Amino acid sequence: MNIHEYQGKQLLKSYGLPVADGVAILKASDAEAAAKSLPGPLYVVKSQIHAGGRGKGKFKELGPDAKGGVRLAKSVADVVANVNEMFGNTLVTKQTGPAGKQVNRLYIEDGADIERELYLSILVDRTVGRVAFVVSTEGGMDIEAVAHDTPEKIITVAIDPQTGVTDKDVAALSKALKLDGAAAEDARTIFPTLYKAFVEKDMSLLEVNPLIVMKNGRIRVLDAKVSFDGNAEFRHPELAELRDLSEEDEKEIEASKYDLAYVALDGNIGCMVNGAGLAMATMDIIKLYGAEPANFLDVGGGASKEKVTAAFKIITADPAVKGILVNIFGGIMRCDVIAEGVIAAVKEVGLKVPLVVRLEGTNVELGKKIINESGLNVISADDLDDAAKKIVKAVKG
C-alpha cells in the first residue's frame, strides 16, 4: 500500500523526525486558512498524488508553459492563486503514465532554505537479505538517471538486523553524503530513527528525495514516499485509514476483496491462470505471439467456485479486454471447479469476447465435459502454445 507525501511526513514526524510544518487541504477554499497557519514568508504548494516527479510534471489542462506540480509561493495570496490553478487538474509526470492523475489534495508546506539536496532511501535489499540504506549526494533530481550515468555516486549500506543502525553505519552514511557539523550531529539520530520507522511499520520502501541540508546546517526531510508491505497489513490496523482508494485501480480493489493476486496491465487479452509462475509464462507466450496481456491474475491454489467467478467478472468488466484466456493446471485446484466458476460467471455477466480455455491436470475430463455441455461458445486448447496462438488469432482476426 502506498500513501501520500503528507501522510508519510506525519508518520515520520510522530517518530520525532525533522519535517516542515504543513497543512493538507481537500478543497481549494481551505488554502488561505492553511497558509495563514504557517510561519511564511516562503510557502510550497505540493500536489498529492501517488507518483513521483511532481515538480517536473505538467498539468494537462494548463498547457506546457504553466508551472509544475510543486510550486514555491511567496505570500498567502500567491498560495491561494496557485492552489486555484492546480486543484482538480490532471498532473502528468514520468511516473503517472500519459493519462496522468487528478490532483484532489494539496499540501501547503513551510518553505525551506536549501543548501544541498541529497537522496536517501531505505528498502529491502534482496541480494544481501537485509534492510539497506541507499544514499547519494545527487538528490532532488532523477535518481534513475544518476544510477544510469554515474552509478559510483550511489552508495548502499546494509544494516545488520541484530544490531540495527550502528555508529559505524551512521559514519559510513554521513561520509557518503558529505555531512559535517550540525548536519552530521543530526544524522546520528535521524538515520537510526528512519530505520526504526521502516522496521516498526513494515515498510517496503521509504524514499526521501530530497533529504536536505538547510542553510543553517540542519537536516530536513523534504519529500517522503512510503510503501507498506501488504503481507504485514494485518499487523497495522492503524494504517488502514491512510489508504486513498481513489489512487488505486478499481479492478485491483475488487480483486483484493477476494484475495486474488491481480495486476491491471495495458494489453487486451484477459488472463485467468493459477499459480504465479504459470501466469508469468502465460503472459510471456501471449507476447511471443504478438499480443499484450490485459492483466496478471493468479487465482491461487485452492480457489473456490466463488473466487473463480469473481475473477472472471473482474476480467470481463474491463472494456479493454478483447479476448480471454483461461489457462489452468489443476494440481490442488480442480479443473471442474474452474469450469463451474467460468460458467457461473458467464451466466451472470454474459460473454461478448472470444474465450479460449486450456485445462490440464486433476479432473480435466470432467472439467472439459462441463464446458462442452454448457452450450458456451468456448474455443478449447490442448496446451499452452496452442492456447496462446488461438486467443491471439481470435482477438486479431
- Find the binding residues for Mg ion in span 217-256 (CB under 5 A): 223
Q: How far is the CB of 132 from ligand ADP (least distance, A)?
A: 21
Asked whether the beta carbons of 351 and 379 are under 8 A apart, the reply is no
Among the listed residues 43, 119, 258, 262, the single catalytic one is 119
Half-sphere exposure of 340 (CA within 13 A, CB side): 12
CA 125 – CA 75 distance, rounded (Å) = 43
- Residue 44 interacting with ligand ADP (CB under 6 A): yes
Question: Is 289 noted as a catalytic residue in this protein?
Answer: no
**Residue from 12, 20, 132, 279 in contact with ligand ADP (CB under 6 A):** 20
Q: Is 238 a catalytic residue?
A: no
CA angle in degrees (0–180, nearest 5) for 49-197-188:
115
Is there binding between residue 4 and ligand ADP (CB under 6 A)? no
Nearer to ligand ADP, 56 or 235 (CB): 56
Asked if 334 contacts 362 with a C-beta cutoff of 8 angstroms, the reply is: yes
Selected catalytic residue, list 5, 207, 247, 340 = 207
In whole angstroms, how far apart are CA 33 and each of 36, 259, 344? Answer: 5, 42, 55
Site membership for ligand ADP, residue 247 (CB under 6 A): no
19 near 218, Cβ under 8 Å?
no
Q: How far is the CB of 9 from Mg ion (least distance, A)?
A: 12
Taking the complex as a whole, the smallest distance from the CB of residue 202 to ligand ADP amounts, in Å, to 24
Which listed residue (40, 55, 192, 217) binds ligand ADP by CB under 6 A? 55
- At 136 the three-state DSSP class reads strand
207 sits near ligand ADP (criterion: CB under 6 A): no
Rounded to 10 degrees, what is the CA torsion of 336, 340, 345, 350?
100
- By the rule CB under 5 A, 169 interacts with Mg ion: no
Minimal distance, residue 98 CB to ligand ADP, in Å: 17
Residues at the interface with Mg ion (CB under 5 A): 209, 223
Active site residues: 119, 207
